[in-house]
Amino acid sequence: MTIATKFACSSALALLALSATAEARTLRLNHNNPEDHPVHLSMQRMADEVEQATDGSVTIRIYANSQLGTQRESTEQVQNCSLDMARSNAAELEAFVPTYGVFNLPYLFESEDHFDQVVAGEIGQRILDSGIDQGIRGLAYYTEGARSFYATKPILSPADLQGMKIRVQPSPSAVRMVELLGASPTPIGWGELYSALQQGVVDGAENNPTALTTARHGEVAKHFSLDEHTLIPAVVFISNCAWDEMTAEEQAALSTAARNSMLSHAEEWRDAATAAVEAAKSEMGVEVHEVDKAPFITAVQPMVDEARASSEDMAELIDQIRAQAE
């Protein structure tokens, strides 16, 4: 082989290598939980599976603790394609894709098993796809369990909420629910909630049990009341730009990895929530209170009636979800 031929072969190999490198892509995924949170760990499993399935042509770099912005900011960045992926919860996504508002209706799901069945099936996929035209292509749900009130005193009935300032997410449904229960809804950013509870800016909040431990809220709110009003999932989604830049094989790999991580997460969440309750009680002195849910259900029934009246599509969706519990 002549020197010229060797040079040509070397150049061709270098160009091939450069082309392969150019085709490889790293997707940035932002969310607001710490790195030890169950949702972060599930998204990391998704990232690991995607990288392996695509032989490294697609990798996902996860940014925890809102490094690239709040949930709302991340969603807007995904919409305008300045961010590839994000994780938000359905409460905040309602402002961008109204269909996600169905998850914000209190006492719609009879159990976590009912919830898991809905999101893993046709209804769940339809909701994930409903945001594509808004630039929010849903990939998977991560259950974050039932949300309950935690505060500086026990909340055993709606009467106990009278006059209280309760932190809510910036969601019309969350505001409406707390209003119907008689409290004053106070939207505050997640990162500011600990100090707001500590300083008395708010008297309480509502979330799942892991908020007591991973966010340390059990240090400043000593009563967790199990009214279990909503089951609002986290949603991981991707921009249309990032999706369209992938090959069909890469899209399939990402979709499969997202679904696999969703299913494994559902199994592991219950253990994490149980462990959080036990840690909050034993390490933080949090008191956990059983609650008669009937008065809460009655108080928030107008929300369901209003949602049904808002559109035929929403009424149909509510009926379909309830039918799956039968």
Q: How many CB atoms lie within 10 A of CB 180?
A: 18
Same domain, 66 and 215: no
The pair of structure tokens assigned to 13 is: 């190999």
Q: What is the mean pLDDT of each run of 10 residues along the chain (326 residues)?
A: 48 43 82 92 97 98 96 97 96 92 94 94 97 97 95 97 94 92 94 96 96 95 97 97 98 98 91 93 97 97 95 94 90
Residue-level pLDDT at 1: 52
Residue 158 lies in a domain: yes
- The pLDDT score that the predictor gives to residue 278 is 96
Integer Cα distance of 141 and 128 in angstroms: 9
Q: Are residues 41 and 169 in the same domain?
A: no
Euclidean distance between CA atoms 46 and 41, whole angstroms: 9
The per-residue pLDDT for 172 is 87
CATH of the domain at 102: 3.40.190.170
Query: Cβ distance 171 to 92 under 8 Å?
Result: yes
The predicted structure's pLDDT at residue 22: 43
Angle between helices 294-310 and 172-180 (to 10 degrees): 140
Write down the pLDDT at residue 2. 52
Q: Where are the beta strands (DSSP E) in the chain?
A: 25-30, 58-63, 85-89, 137-142, 146-151, 165-168, 184-187, 204-207, 223-231, 234-238, 287-290
- Alpha carbon distance 323, 88 (integer Å): 27
Two tokens, residue 188: 């505050």
pTM of the shown model: 0.84
Structure tokens at 142: 């991560």
Q: Which two tokens stand for residue 106?
A: 């209190």
- Residue 144's identity, in one-letter code, is E
Q: How far is CA 67 from CA 2, 71, 125, 171, in A?
A: 54, 11, 29, 22
Domain that holds residue 109: 25-144+234-272
Total domain count, the chain: 2
Residues 225, 242 within the same domain: no
Residue 8 lies in a domain: no
Q: Burial code of 132-141, b = ≥16 C-beta within 10 A, e = fewer?
A: eeebbbbbbb
Cβ(233)–Cβ(119) under 8 Å? yes
User: What pLDDT sits at residue 13?
Assistant: 47
Please tell me whether residue 170 adopts helix, strand or coil conformation. coil
| pLDDT value at residue 238 | 98
Give yes or no: residues 103 and 250 share one domain.
yes
Name 55's Cβ contacts closer than 8 Å, sequence gap at least 6. none
Q: How far apart, in Å, are the Cα atoms of 200 and each of 173, 191, 319? A: 24, 16, 41
- Assess whether 121 and 202 both reside in one domain: no
Tell me which DSSP letter residue 106 carries.
T
